[in-house]
Amino acid sequence: MHPPEVWHVTELGNGAVGLHDEGFRLELSLGTAATYQDAQISDYEKRADFSNQPPLRLSLYARASGELRGTAGFGFWNHAFMPGRRSFRLPQAIWFFFASPPGEIALAQGLPGSGWKAATINAKSWRFLALLPFAPIGFLLMRQATLYKSLWPIGQRAIAVEEALLDPNLLKGWRRYSIEWRTDGAVFAVDDEVVLRAESAPRNKLGFIAWIDNQYAIVNPQGRFGWGMLDIRQPQSLHLRDIQITALVQ
């Protein structure tokens, strides 16, 4: 695990971060949708403090408890946004990501927009930036089922979205998760079993983050966008231990 002094703790609303013998507990207690709730740790304090870039390997043990409502996960990203703040960046991420309904981030064709996933996205790729001026027309075209089926794979490759849907029951017990972030992609594994081989991934520096919150987002190729927060009906938490970020020899 990183030395404790490198971890930056964020606690918003009723979010709380605890450090115990078994590691970290990121927890949300009861709360309403009127307030953003977040518990997270990161290895950066400001959005310019990112220090992770390929080739490297992330390894940790994780489990969850309670009815997860909102989002949760761990991995690397570019701190694309924070609820309540106006600044926004085109997202880049390599992570294990959970989203509950009504959240629907449906950018991988053939997969649901919610659930427990291994995922990559790079909306700063030159392919996506080249297509961005045509986005309004693209949203209209994607509303035709046949055009979505034939054309969306082009858009999906442009934003380097690759996902694997995981069994949510994995979250009920301790599992070992790893990400090998390479210069030519990424390999995700659970208990040393590969669950996703991504052919592309961001190459620039990103920050490590692990979090649990009560927000949801809606994003799909048909141009449906939305965001909101959910009531927390019972305590829910994400537990982490043995976090290691090490150099990877390719």
Give the model confidence (pLDDT) of 39-94 as tens digits.
Answer: 999 999 887 789 999 999 999 999 999 999 999 999 999 998 765 555 678 899 99
Is the Cα torsion angle 106, 208, 2, 27 positive or negative in sign?
negative
**What is the predicted pLDDT for the residue at 131?**
75
Q: Which residues of the chain have pLDDT under 70?
A: 1-5, 82-87, 126
Length of the chain: 250
Q: Look up the pTM and report it.
A: 0.92
**What is the predicted pLDDT for the residue at 87?**
65
- Count the Cβ atoms, other than its own, within 10 Å of residue 153: 12
**What is the predicted pLDDT for the residue at 137?**
84
Q: Which long-range contacts (CB under 8 A, 24 or more apart) does 133-142 make?
A: 136/223, 138/221, 139/221, 139/222, 139/223, 140/223, 142/221, 142/222, 142/223
Alpha helices in the chain (DSSP H): 126-131, 135-142, 145-158
**What is the predicted pLDDT for the residue at 1?**
44
**What is the predicted pLDDT for the residue at 90?**
87
d(CA 12, CA 2): 23
d(CA 244, CA 95): 14
Catalogue all structural domains in the chain, each as residue range(s) with its CATH number: 4-247 (2.60.120.560)
d(CA 68, CA 104): 15
- Count the Cβ atoms, other than its own, within 10 Å of residue 204: 12
**What is the predicted pLDDT for the residue at 84?**
54
